[in-house]
Amino acid sequence: MSVRGVVFDLDNTLIETNESALAALDVTCDHLEARLGTAVAAARDTFLCVYIDLENALIERRRQFESAYQVRVETWRQTLAHLGQPASLAEEMVEYYAAERRRRFRLYPEVPAVLDAVTAAWPGAILTNGFTDVQREKIAAVGLGRWLPTAIISAEVGAWKPQPEAFAVALRAIGCRPEEAVMVGDSWKHDIAGAAPLGLRTVWVNRRGAPPPRGPEPSAAVADLSPLDQLLRHWNGE
């Protein structure tokens, strides 16, 4: 079956997210210490533990949030409470963190050329887990709409990867049946394990050379997006 469309994950696939989020978190923790006038041990690790718990609860539908802002405020409230610090500082921490994140929004270097080639040949869409406020801000800041005018944000459609409904929305957006589409993403759990059982071809973007987890095998694994155009052409027998 020929490839007729491509679905892209956003964070850590097109946009560098993890490193810039950690860098923003570090300076926010420094700001907290400056604000309190005292050292705060383990602020970063406490924040990350709280955040991961909340994110899992969100994806597994055990908690409901309306925006990334709300998630961040709740994360800082719980973090400050664990640290024995005033939870009233949560909003201020969120504003500081958001400004530091904004300064760091960037596409991976190979992305513009890859999207030039791929989207000239096939329709594409973004399918991302997250909320309107931050995801749309990021997409606009790095100009992704130029190549991928359709972005499906999980909170807007009420379905989060790896739920099949999320992929169904993306397939409709690019006008493809599952066997005609390719899912490109860095998350084995959300992108690969979500799309592969539905019959999409999958490209696992493994930028850090992680060992492949157990579960559905991706159709291909790449260290960055550079080989993508050639890979899609190869699948189409070119």
Nearest distance from C-beta of residue 37 to Mg ion, angstroms:
38
Helix axes 43-59, 18-36, angle to 10 degrees: 130
- Dihedral in degrees, nearest 10, Cα atoms 231, 229, 204, 215: -40
Nearest distance from C-beta of residue 59 to Mg ion, angstroms:
13
Residue 16 lies near Mg ion (rule: CB under 5 A): no
Of 39-47, 52-60, 109-117, 178-186, the segment contacting Mg ion by CB under 5 A is: 178-186
Q: Which of 12, 85, 135, 154 binds Mg ion (CB under 5 A)?
A: 12
Nearest distance from C-beta of residue 203 to Mg ion, angstroms:
12
Of 12-20, 139-147, 159-167, 196-204, the segment contacting Mg ion by CB under 5 A is: 12-20
CB 182 within 8 A of CB 203: yes
Q: Which of 11, 16, 100, 180 binds Mg ion (CB under 5 A)?
A: 11
How many residues bind Mg ion, per CB under 5 A? 5
Of 6-14, 62-70, 96-104, 168-176, the segment contacting Mg ion by CB under 5 A is: 6-14
The CA distance from 168 to 178, in Å, is 8
Q: Which residues of 193-202 are buried (b: 16+ CB within 10 A; e: fewer)?
A: bbbbebebbb
Edge-to-edge strands of the sheet including 201-205?
Answer: 151-153, 124-128, 5-8, 181-185, 201-205, 220-222
**What residue ranges bind Mg ion (CB under 5 A)?**
9, 11-12, 186-187
